[in-house]
Amino acid sequence: MLVVDFGQNPLLTKSLDKFDWYIIPQVNPDGYEYSRNTDRLWRKTRSVNKTVSMWCTGVDANRNWGYRWGEAGINRSPCSNIYAGSHPYSEPEIAGLKDFFTWEVANPQIYVSLHSYGQLFLSPWGYTSQHTDNYLDQRNAAQEAVIAMRNKTGVSYNFGTISELMYPASGTSIDYMQHRGVPYIYGVELRPQDTAHSFQFHLPTHYIAPTGDEMLAALFAMGDHAVRIQRL
């Protein structure tokens, strides 16, 4: 869509003229493949824990970042789904992604990490319940994004920090990017809502396209906000 609709879609064209987009479709390819072939609900990487327990595989990649690693909302057991690893950046996927952002992305303005599920728009911090110094601006940008999503598909997302709306979690990419100084950082829990009768992780395929449409609307809204506030 970004290539095909450039020059045809005014919102898309304006955004691509202003920003360089870096899209990483899958941060955890080995874990994703394992979830398709073996364990549908697998969430960790597939690294072998040689120094701790050879019987339990993988690390929670989104608790393996270096900022405030291992402080809150993690588990020291390699058998846990929220095992943070033996040390920060123990996973090559995360070490590589950190190096990419460090050396290849100049002056990043917006960082969004997509997850499922819950229909939540989450800002830092994860490791603490305290708000960031620029929380109000992050909230305003997120509210504009949430309105754009609702206008696009009629679906509502709730905004709050990771620790407020979900649970404490340290070593996340969201907290790392905040510490680095990126102005607008969000973890987005996509469809469906977290209810007793929702599809949860088994979202039917016909929801994929509208979920993408509403997320794209959110990105355009955040871009417009960043241009206006940061004077880009």
Under 8 Å between Cβ of 191 and 207: yes
Under 8 Å between Cβ of 201 and 116: yes
* Cβ partners under 8 Å of residue 148, min gap 6: 214, 217, 218, 220, 221
Distance CA(219)–CA(232), nearest Å, equals 16
Q: Classify residue 187 as exposed, middle or buried by CB count within 10 Å of its CB (0-12, 13-18, 19+).
A: buried
- Catalytically annotated residue among 91, 104, 164, 189: 189
DSSP 207: G
Single-letter amino acid code for the residue at 125: W
Of 14, 27, 26, 61, the C-alpha closest to 216 is 14
Annotated catalytic residue 164: no
Any idea which residues carry the catalytic annotation?
189
